[in-house]
Amino acid sequence: MTKAASESLSSVDVVSVGGLCIDIVLRVDRFPGHDEKVASELVGNLPGGPQPNFACAASTLGLSVRSLSHIGTDEYGEIVKAIWKNMTLIRSVLRLYQEQLLLLLFC
C-alpha cells in the first residue's frame, strides 16, 4: 500500500465491500395471479443492494465510510456510476469490468 493510500484510509471508520444492484421498480394496478401477466409502469432504476444500504446507514450515523465494489460497463453500470458520483456522504471506489453485466434480481 502506498503512503498516500495509507494516509487516505487512516481516517476511515468503515469500509463497505460487496455488490451493488439496480432495483427496477415497477408500478402495477394489482399483483398478478399464477402465470398471469399484468401491465406495468416503470417507476425508476434505483440503487440497491446490501452493500450500499449498509454504507448509507453507517454514513448517516456519522461514520467515515469508503465503499468498494465492482460494476459492469453496461447501461446499468453507467446508472450506478452516475448515482454514486452524486453521493456526497460516501466516497466510493468502483472497479469497471468490460463485458460484465450487473446482477439483476426480479422478486
Kindly state whether residue 86 falls inside one of the protein's structural domains. yes
What is the spatial distance between Cα 26 and Cα 43, in angstroms, rounded to a whole number? 5
Q: Per-residue pLDDT tens, the chain, 107 aa: give them.
A: 566 555 556 677 888 888 777 888 899 999 999 999 999 999 988 877 888 788 888 888 888 887 777 777 788 878 877 777 766 544 555 555 555 544 444 43
Specify the 3-state DSSP secondary structure of 43.
Answer: strand
Grid cell at residue 37: 401477466
Kindly state whether residue 70 falls inside one of the protein's structural domains. yes
N-to-C CA span, the chain? 41
What is the spatial distance between Cα 20 and Cα 48, in angstroms, rounded to a whole number? 6
What is the spatial distance between Cα 47 and Cα 38, in angstroms, rounded to a whole number? 25
Kindly state whether residue 80 falls inside one of the protein's structural domains. yes
**Residue 92 sits in which domain range?**
9-20+48-97
Kindly state whether residue 37 falls inside one of the protein's structural domains. no
Kindly state whether residue 28 falls inside one of the protein's structural domains. no
Kindly state whether residue 78 falls inside one of the protein's structural domains. yes
Split into its structural domains, the chain has a count of 1
